[in-house]
Structure 1
Amino acid sequence: MPVFQAKTFRRATTASSTIGERIGASYRARLPRHPFLLFGFPFIIIIVAGSFALTPAAALRYERHDRKVKQLSQEEAISLGLKGPDGEEGIKRNPRRRILGDEREEYYRLMAKDLDDWEQTRVQRFKGEPDGKL
C-alpha cells in the first residue's frame, strides 16, 4: 500500500486563479491565528461606521415628522377656522376641557366624595352574555 506524504496539499497557483481567490485563501489561512484582528475588529468598525452613516437618515426622518406636526401661526389658525379673529378657539377645542370644565372644580368635587363608604354592585349583563357566575 502506498504511503501518504507528510506535506499538506496546496493547489498550484495558475493563471486561472484570480486575485480574489488568492486573497481569500490567505485570509482563511491567517484567521485561526488572529481571529479578533481579522474578524472581530472589522465587524466592530462596520457597526460603528453604520451608526454614523445612519445618523443623517434618522435626522431626516425626525425633521420630516416635525414638518408635519409644526405649530400653526396665528394667521394660519384663523384661515383654517381653528381660531376666531378675536383669538379665541374656534371649532376644534380640547374635548376634555369641555367635559371637565375647570380642573380645580373637578378636584374639589372628587375630594368631597366619601371614598370609604361604598358598596360593590354587579353590572347588568346583556341578554345571552355570560355573567361569570357558576
Structure 2
Amino acid sequence: MSRFGTRTFRGLKEQEAFNKTIAGKYAKLVKKNHFLYLGLPFLLSIVAGSIYLQKFTSIKWEKYDEKYRQLGEDEMLDMIENKRTFDKKNDFYRLQGLLTDHIEKEVQTDYEMKRVQRKKEDEPVW
C-alpha cells in the first residue's frame, strides 16, 4: 500500500509514545488491513451521504410536482385551447405602438415608404 505522506523519523521513545495514542493505534491497524480500516469507512460514508442527501432532493422534486399538479387536466386543456394566436407582423407593430386599435389590429397608414439614396460605391453592381 502506498503511504499518504512521507515517513517521519521518530526515536525509540517517541515511537512508543506515538503507538500509545489513538493515531498510532489506528496507523498500526491500517498497516495490517488497509481496506477494512481505511477503504470501507470511506465507501460507507459515501453511501450514507448519498442516502442522507436523497431526502433533500426528494423534497425538492415533491415541491416541484406539487406546484404543477394543482392544475387539473380540464384546466390544462382550456389553457391550451384559449391560447392567443401569434402573428409576427401584428405583434411587432403592437409592441412598437403603431397599431391604432389593439383589438382590430389595424396598422396605421400615415407614413410613406421612401427609398433612401445610397452612395454610388454602395450600389450593387450586377
- Bigger helix share: 2
Fold match (TM-score > 0.5): no
Higher relative contact order (CA 8 A, sep 6+): 2
- Normalised TM-score (structure 2): 0.44
